[in-house]
Amino acid sequence: MSAKKEFNVKWGMAIDLDKCTGCGACMVACQAENNLAPQADASNKLRVMNWLVVFELSNNKAFPDHETAYLPRPCQQCAEQPCATVCPVVATERNEEGGIVSQIYPRCIGCRYCMAACPYHARYFNWFDPIWPKGMEKSLTPDVSTRPRGVVEKCSFCHHRFMKAKDKIRAKGGEVYVRGVDNKMHCAVPEDGYVTSCAEACPNGAIVFGDLNNPDHTVSKLVRGNADAFRLLERLGTDTAVYYISKREWVRRLGDNYVPDEETQKPRQILPKKH
């Protein structure tokens, strides 16, 4: 594994599981934004293409003590990617300011090593040609290329929106990266200038998006020192950019594999840093 890259800007998410009702608006908004093709039978989850999936969680207690919660799962944008390290053709990497893991479809050979490697099942193999019902291709956005059959796809944190936000600044003669009051470089894109499609769509405000390294951004305020925030499978040391928030301990415990008498951990890095 190559050395972990640190960036001045680290786009990240905080998903409040106490607010998510599992309505699916984020999933539909994601598909429309990223030009995912519809599928007539979407019940075979081994064949269906989704970049963002809402899972149902249960506290596993019997009625009437049962509680339920919903967990939207985009690509976790790991800083230590299990996927990129196994890609034989460097079709996926995390190499750009912002720390988003890229996926380059024309380069992907469809070997699916990355899917096997991803502990979050966030990667999907494209089993079908991207075909829309006649005429519906007119509703495609120009922002994201359609992907041919036989490649692996995943959530990009709506990277194209980041590109557009940067262009907006550049076209007005501005600098994209500026030094903040904390003497660190920050992205000049305003906090609401780059938001993923799912975060934008959510009517409950369950998804907060921003720069985890920018202390002024809500997302970084929400996750720093918040014992109610956690990441999925923290112990793998993937150092993901997606945090989840819940005041319910049973929800937090589902974020990792705990033995029954083990205490729920706070967000932390468990594997020793390599550098």
Partner 1 sequence: MEENRHSADSATCRPKCISGLVPFLAGLVPALLFGWLVFPGLLFSKADEPFYFSHSTHLTKGGATCADCHRFRDDGSFTGVPQRETCLSCHDGILTPEPGPKATEVETAAYTAEKTFMEGYVKAVRDIPWVTHQKQPDNVFFSHAAHFSKCYTCHLTMKDKLSLGSPEDPQKLCMTCHPSTAELDKGQAPELNILTGYSRSTLKMSECERCHAHPGHFYDDGKGRTVANNACYTCHK
Partner 2 sequence: MGLDRRTFIKFAAGAGAGVMLTPIPWKLLDDSAIWTQNWPWIPSLEDGENTYVYAFSKSDPSIVPIQVRKVNGRPVRILPVPGHPLGGGVSALSAAEAQMLHSPARLRRPLLRGQDGKLQEISWPQASNVLLDEIRKAGAKTAFISGDENSSVIEVISALAGALGSGDVYLMPSDAQDAAVAASLAGIGARIGYDLESSDHVLALGANILENWGTVMRNRRIFKNARPHSFRKAGEKQGAGAASLFLAYAGPLQTNTAAVADLWLPLYPGTESVLALGIAHLLLAAGKTCAADDFDAFREFVAGFTPEKTAGITGVDAAKLKQEVEKLLAAKSPLVIVGSEFGSGAGAVPVLAGLAVNALLGNVNKPGGLSLLPKSAPAFTEAASREDIHKKSLIRFLAAQEKPALLLIHDANPVYALPDPRKIREAIQAVPFKVAFNSFMDETAALCDLILPADMGLERMDDVETPYGSGKASYCISAPATKAQAGVLNAGNTLLQTARRLDKALGFNTYEDVLKSKAAQYGKVGFDDLAAGVPALSEEKATVSSFSFKADILKQAPAAEAGGGALRLAPYVRMSLGTAVTGIPPYNNKTLRADELDGTLMSVMLNRATAVKHKVAAGDKVVLEAGGKKITAKVRIFEGVMNDTAGVCLGFGHSEFDEFSKNKGHNVMELMSALPEPGTGLDLWCRTGVDIKKA
Q: Applying CB under 8 A, does 163 fall inside the site for partner 1?
A: yes
Q: Of these partners, partner 2, partner 1, none, which one is at the site of residue 129 (CB under 5 to 8 Å by kind)?
A: partner 2
Q: Pick the piece of the chain touching partner 2 (CB under 8 A) from 21-29, 168-176, 209-217, 232-240.
A: 21-29
Report the amino acid identity of residue 68: T
Contacts of residue 73, Cβ cutoff 8 Å, sequence gap at least 6: 52, 53, 54, 55, 120, 121, 122, 232
Among residues 134, 172, 273, 275, which is the contact residue for partner 2, using CB under 8 A? 134
Contacts of residue 83, Cβ cutoff 8 Å, sequence gap at least 6: 92, 101, 114, 117, 118, 123
Residue 147 CB coordination number (10 Å): 22
Scan residues 183-202 and list those touching partner 1 (CB under 8 A): 185
Q: Of these partners, partner 2, partner 1, none, which one is at the site of residue 88 (CB under 5 to 8 Å by kind)?
A: none
Scan residues 26-45 and list those touching partner 2 (CB under 8 A): 27-29, 31-33, 35-36, 38-45
Contact 243, 264 (CB under 8 A): no
Among residues 48, 86, 115, 176, which is the contact residue for partner 2, using CB under 8 A? 48
Distance CA 212, CA 56 (A): 26
Among residues 1, 3, 62, 181, which is the contact residue for partner 2, using CB under 8 A? 62
Q: Applying CB under 8 A, does 172 fall inside the site for partner 2?
A: no
Report the amino acid identity of residue 222: L
**β partners of residue 211:** 11
Q: What are phi and psi of 81, to 5 degrees?
A: -85, 120
Scan residues 103-122 and list those touching partner 1 (CB under 8 A): 104-107
CB of 5 to partner 2, least distance (A): 28
CB of 208 to partner 2, least distance (A): 7
The site for partner 1 (CB under 8 A) is made up of 8, 90-91, 93, 95-97, 100, 102, 104-107, 143-146, 156, 159-160, 163-164, 166-173, 177, 179, 185
